[in-house]
Amino acid sequence: MKQEDINKLKNKISSLERQVEIQKGRISFLESQSGKIVDGADISHESLKCLAKRLSPDVAFKYAIDWYREQLTEKS
């Protein structure tokens, strides 16, 4: 595997990991808003949990990260 290909894989892993962290931050923010008044409406804990669940880092991200890491280790 060429160094250029290895760098592309490493960049893809980093990008996916950043996306997961961004989603975790969004979930933390939503959870912190539970019970607060937002735009004149009380946001219930249940609706926040539902929204946070939709924003959760998808399992696909984790599979993709693992797959790219495997490519790096197999071909290095």
- Per residue in 17-73, pLDDT (tens digit) is 888 888 778 777 777 766 665 555 555 666 666 666 666 666 666 767 777 778 778
For 41, the 3-state DSSP assignment is: strand
Task: Give yes or no for a contact between 10 and 72, defined as CB atoms under 8 angstroms apart.
Answer: yes
Nearest of 53, 52, 65 to residue 19 by alpha carbon: 65
Task: Give yes or no for a contact between 48 and 31, defined as CB atoms under 8 angstroms apart.
Answer: yes
Burial of 56 (0-12, 13-18, 19+ CB in 10 A): middle
- Per residue in 33-47, pLDDT (tens digit) is 666 655 555 556 666
